[in-house]
Amino acid sequence: MEEKLQVTPLNGRHRDLKALMAPFGGWDMPIQYEGIIAEHAWCRTQAALFDICHMGEFVFQGDFEADGLEDVFTFSVKTIPVGRSRYGFLLNEQGGIIDDLIVFRLAENRVMIVVNAATAPKDFVAIQSRLRGGLLSNVTADTGKLDIQGPMSRYVMVETFGAEVATIPYFKFITMDILGCQAIVSRTGYTGELGYEIFLPAEKVGELWDLLLQDERVKPAGLGARDVLRLEVGYSLYGSDIDESTTPLEAGLEGFVNFDKEFVGKDALLRQKQQGVSRSKVAFKVAGRRSPRHHYEICFEGDTVGSVTSGVFSPMLACGVGIGFVKPELAVIGTPLTIRHERVSMEATVCELPFFRDGSLRS
């Protein structure tokens, strides 16, 4: 029996735009409209609009320390200033990543937790099980979310909603009136470009989508372009590059783990730090325009030493790029690798992240 896919409030609009639709994290989502390469280019030069209503949102209200929220994530919640957000992880006891997420500090005793679509149900259960009090609410169904990303996004937002938007620094947000309702406008995103994430009531998201697309600098973009954009700047994708069998140390994401506080999985990570990881994330460029793909083999001197977790053709670098996992001693800049799948073989070289460094993210 086929899984019944969930739909966002914009599903009909995507179909009217003749979007190619496909399942993603249990949702029926647009993969592309005009085409992945065109949408990627538009985001890098203009402003692309993404439907991100499939993401999960939880609100917690209570005493962060007394009610146990402070010990849930790999970062401190209580030290996030009101009006700012922080990225990190929800781990299992073995140090594996249940999810990567962002927490927004809405008030002294209130936060919004934004999680991935496919993991949202288990995230809610995991967080709830670790709390000693307070109120955790799942507001996903009531919340709409649009991302406008690209170097023109600030101009579009300021001209549409006012000059206050221009004052928002990276990883900070404001609450403002949009279309007669209270909305959160956050200077965050998943593309490596200047951009904003807008949270507002689900019943208003269609009106906002239509309004933003009236601007000639704005075009819709699907998950295909989003995947190329995020990989060019080295962002991990949950379910491909990180999952419950992967720790932040293996994934090169230790910078988002605060070992000065308590959290579930800390003991396992400390043991791994002491013993050393058995595998490490590796980034590589392909010598040519071929795309490495998920599950392709990574080889070194004829031996299979790992597998690709994400790979694409990068329009910005004009070559294939990818990330995967190998033995730590092979994750050294300049190491020659071969990427293989059946009769496909491509030479590659280990490199630093991000692949693409000239985005407008911090403009």
pTM over 0.85: yes
Residue 133: is its pLDDT beyond 80?
A: yes
Q: Quick check: is 67 in a domain?
A: no
Which region holds residue 338: left if phi is over 0, alpha if psi is between -120 and 50, else beta?
beta
Whichever domain contains 174, its CATH number is 3.30.1360.120
**Each residue's pLDDT tens digit, 144-188:** 999 999 999 999 999 999 999 999 999 999 999 999 999 999 999
- The residue among 168, 198, 232 that closes a domain is 232
pLDDT at residue 232 greater than cutoff 70:
yes
Render pLDDT for 66-99 as a digit per residue (tens, 0 to 9): 999 999 999 999 999 999 999 999 999 999 999 9
Beta strands in 141-194 (DSSP E): 143-149, 173-178, 181-186
- pLDDT tier, 101 (very low <50, low <70, confident <90, very high otherwise): very high
Distances from the Cα of 104 to the Cα of 62, 175, 271, angstroms: 14, 12, 30
pLDDT value of position 260? 98
Percent of the chain residues past pLDDT 70, beyond the cut = 99
pLDDT on residue 255: 98
- Which amino acid is it at 55? M
Residue 2's pLDDT band (cuts 50, 70, 90): low
User: What whole-number distance in Å separates Cα of residue 169 and Cα of residue 40?
Assistant: 24
**Boundary-marking domain end, from 204, 232, 260:** 232
What domain range includes position 33?
A: 11-53+141-232
Span 14-30, pLDDT tens digits: 999 999 999 999 999 99
Residue 46 lies in a domain: yes
Q: Is the peptide bond before 201 cis (omega within 30 degrees of 0)?
A: no
Q: Rounded to the nearest 5 degrees, what angle is found at the Cα of 291, between the Cα atoms of 18 and 332?
A: 135
The predicted pLDDT at position 67 comes to 98
- The total domain count for the chain is 2
DSSP helix/strand/coil, 27: strand
| Residues 157 and 287 occupy one common structural domain | no
